[in-house]
Structure 1
């Protein structure tokens, strides 16, 4: 179908309409631009959403969510788009750049390792670990940390963080074990409704196979008071890696002696934490304090 070039052309393909402004709007977030590009190529191939859904192995609602910029696509969806469109890795590469562009440079190597890990062992002191944050919680965290940045930049960072959950949807996802100090549950991020939603999400996440959550209560005393937040990534065929934050930024450590020492510390933290079932009951109790 020929396109009519003009200031505001309108294209109708297979009963779907899209205007040029949808593609060129400068206020679109990176995620929305990705979705607009998927839609642009799909329409250029004269395909309906149901055709792309079939070709990628997802539902029509999933395709719609990606195209509208409301849903961060998975790696599988991006490679499916390249297969259906014949774009030779274009959308997969765009997805990687979308993700990396919204992470600090020092954090990108960690994200790449996280996707390959067999176990993710996390200890958090005051803030819920990124992989288990809700969108509203992450939004509040990033806005507090970047008060003068644009909404587009904040949205991009939130989307990149939420996408990290996709690793848990793999055919063989990593085992996730998260230990939270009670301060994570008590630090009021974003207000009562945001915290209530965040704690609900923790309980829901813990119901999934392969995810264990534990809480170290204030009553445990000094057991975790000296610790900083950190994550240990274990792999089937390579040594364990430590990621931790300090005032200079996050750092990866592969030194065997350091990693072994932190692993021992993690075992002690788990020993001082409430058992998983009691931990979930504790989370549910704190949640009611935010929104009865």
Structure 2
């Protein structure tokens, strides 16, 4: 599809910038579509058909290619993560990968793939920990996370692993380059249903969103869709506890897990 976009753009006598303006995407995004560095999102196809007058060609192509294996969307996200100036994550199921301890990550990977060897598990843990290198660059990206309270309560790897993991969050709750807040159970109605949503702000001003469920992940680039995702995140943010209140809830959860690790009397 990348070559078709480039061919029809050239026929129309349009530059990448001109096409980007017509379909409402950034020049950087359109360049990635034409070079196959990013998969073409479904939402873009009818806009391309309208721009080129191709009577549904790109929409039909997307349907034909829907079942073809595209490049791993998670790998694509990690590439964007390395370039991001800001990341805002909603975590409704697990501790965000950038904040996971080795023991917690190990437990997550082991449960996700019970047939994996120890060597494979350790390689995945190492790769996850390597992602933290983004915080060592200058300027360092700002990372904001909102955790559903269930993330604190859901046992992963046992009580000792959970106590260690939650303790590792405390220094980052209100850090210079990181904030962590908790959405309590009493706030039952909010607009995010995915296990993970991450809003990505790039240096060129582009805003993207990454959403992930149990067995899928996808990059959202359509400006209207990203705006809707931002509003949903802002709504969750409005209901979340303050960093200080979040830290208090995290400490209370740690005490509960530590009590479970003590031998019975």
Partner of 2:83: 116
Deviation of the 1:227 alpha carbon: 4.8
Partner of 1:263: 230
Any idea what the Cα deviations from partners look like across 1:8-27, whole Å, max 9, x if unmatched? xxxxxxxxxxxxxxxxxxxx
Residue 145 (structure 2) pairs with residue 170 (structure 1)? no
Q: In the comparison of the two structures, how many residue pairs are matched?
A: 189
Unaligned runs of 5+ in 2: 1-70, 260-265
Alpha-carbon contact 2:167-2:254 (below 8 Å) kept: yes
Deviation of the 1:244 alpha carbon: 0.6
Deviation of the 1:210 alpha carbon: 1.5
- What SS does structure 1 have at the residue aligned with 2:123? helix
Higher relative contact order (CA 8 A, sep 6+): 2
Any idea what the Cα deviations from partners look like across 1:104-137, whole Å, max 9, x if unmatched? 9321111111011111000011211100000000
Alpha-carbon contact 2:197-2:212 (below 8 Å) kept: yes
2:152 to 167, 176, 185: 185
- What SS does structure 1 have at the residue aligned with 2:186? helix
Q: Which runs of 4+ in 1 moved over 3 A?
A: 224-228
Partner of 2:197: 230
Alpha-carbon contact 1:231-1:244 (below 8 Å) kept: yes
Q: 1:207 to 1:222 in 2, by over 3 A?
A: closer
- What SS does structure 2 have at the residue aligned with 1:163? helix
- What SS does structure 1 have at the residue aligned with 2:89? strand
Partner of 1:128: 95
RMSD of aligned residue pairs (Cα, Å): 1.6
Deviation of the 1:229 alpha carbon: 1.7
Deviation of the 1:186 alpha carbon: 0.5
Alpha-carbon contact 1:181-1:224 (below 8 Å) kept: no
- What SS does structure 2 have at the residue aligned with 1:220? coil
2:105 to 121, 138, 143: 138
Structure 1 length normalisation: TM-score?
0.62
Partner of 1:197: 164
Alpha-carbon contact 2:199-2:210 (below 8 Å) kept: yes
Unaligned runs of 5+ in 1: 1-103
What is the 5 A alignment of 1:24-63?
none
Q: 1:121 to 1:256 in 2, by over 3 A?
A: same
Deviation of the 1:190 alpha carbon: 0.1
